[in-house]
Amino acid sequence: MALVTTERMFKQALESDYAVGAFNVNNMEIIQGIVEAAMEEKAPLILQVSAGARKYAKPAYLIKLVEAAIEDTGLDIALHLDHGEDFDICKKCVDDGFTSVMIDGSKHPFEENIRLTKEVVDYAHSKGVSVEAELGKLAGIEDNINVDARNATFTDPEEAAEFVEKTGVDSLAVAIGTSHGAYKFKGEPYLDFDRLKAIHQLIPDTPLVLHGASTVLPEFVAKCNEYGGDIPGAQGVPEDMIKTAARYGVCKVNIDTDLRLAMTAEIRKYLCEHPADFDPRKYLGPARDAIRGMVQHKIKNVLNASGKA
Ligand code: G3H
Ligand code: 13P
Ligand code: ZN
């Protein structure tokens, strides 16, 4: 039982066409719900912390909670920085004991993304920490993205190969049509699998990462709306598409929005049905159970990762 890097997890995932869930964490109940599910399913697990999570909960609390989860469950867990925007935040997390960091240089021109990523790789690798980088831009919600728009924003396979070679990065987040949040597509969901296959063919040993991979399950949106929410037109990535991505080199699947929806739906329902209650444990307990249920569903039915830890 330990904090581990993603190296072994990804090697196994790449060989066996399954994916490791990387779940965003912001508080104790979220962490507990996720690790309970991973323990139940004997699944490999990445817990990831965004800059927003660090601001909300403070880094020391999150790190100690993850350490407590390892002590309590005996699981091996990778602790990962999600979307580090500069060298300093990556260095801070490496120094704080994270076992994996993401440097997100996707907003920079290609050469600057390479330079920044290489700087982080050199530092992180000297401390035994894995690095994820990103190339290409996650699409926003658009009708019918045409070929020109795709070529301008999605990850270019040749560039991906050059990027990995020049930076020595351990894994690469690719843009093939996903986006963050609950509103991913206006019309039919579309991911550019030809592009993903081309990237995987050129860099078959590099684990690929899919950000914005929540499915936004309709029953959870409906439950939020039934109990006073207002989330119209939300739509995510169909679960079958995530399974397909795992066959073409995607080893890490990032999920945050689905946890938010599961937790919020449960809290809304509880508070509507128990207007006299005001003990937070009464609704945070069921919310934690809802997180566990969602993560278990993902590990079993979408990521194919049960029994792989
Ligand atoms: O990449 C986005 C993740 O869902 C984290 O979101 O920046 O609101 O913590 P956040
Ligand atoms: P979702 O918003 O689809 O859950 O994506 C989360 C993510 O990519 C975190 O980096
Ligand atoms: Zn992301």
Query: Is 82 among the residues known to form the active site?
Result: yes
Report the atom number in ligand 1 closest to the C-alpha of 211.
1
- The reported pLDDT for the residue numbered 261 is 98
Neighbouring residues of 249: CB distance < 8 A, sequence distance ≥ 6: 14, 196, 199, 200, 203, 204, 206, 207, 208
- The reported pLDDT for the residue numbered 138 is 87
Q: Where is 39: in which H helix or E strand? A: helix 28-41
Taking the CA of residue 140 as centre, how many other CA atoms within 13 Å lie in the half-sphere pointing to its CB? 0
Q: Name the residue of 180, 253, 258, 261 to mutate for ligand 1: max ligand atoms within 8 A of Cβ.
A: 180
Sign, CA torsion 120/122/125/130? positive
Q: Where is 48: in which H helix or E strand? A: strand 45-49
- The reported pLDDT for the residue numbered 144 is 57
**Residue pLDDT, tens place only, 175-193:** 999 999 999 998 899 999 9
Percent of the chain with pLDDT over 90: 93
CA-derived radius of gyration, the chain? 19
Measured by CA distance, the residue closest to atom 1 of ligand 1 is 180
Query: Taking a C-beta distance cutoff of 8 angstroms, is the pair 155, 177 a contact?
Result: no
**Residue pLDDT, tens place only, 99-152:** 999 999 999 999 999 999 999 999 999 999 999 999 998 876 655 567 777 777
212 lines ligand 2 (CB under 6 A): yes
Ligand 1: residues with CB < 6 A are 24, 50, 52-53, 82-83, 180, 256
Query: Taking a C-beta distance cutoff of 8 angstroms, is the pair 143, 186 a contact?
Result: yes
Q: Report how far ligand 2's centroid is from the alpha carbon of 24 (Å).
A: 8
51 lines ligand 2 (CB under 6 A): no
Q: Name the residue of 256, 259, 260, 261 to mutate for ligand 1: max ligand atoms within 8 A of Cβ.
A: 256
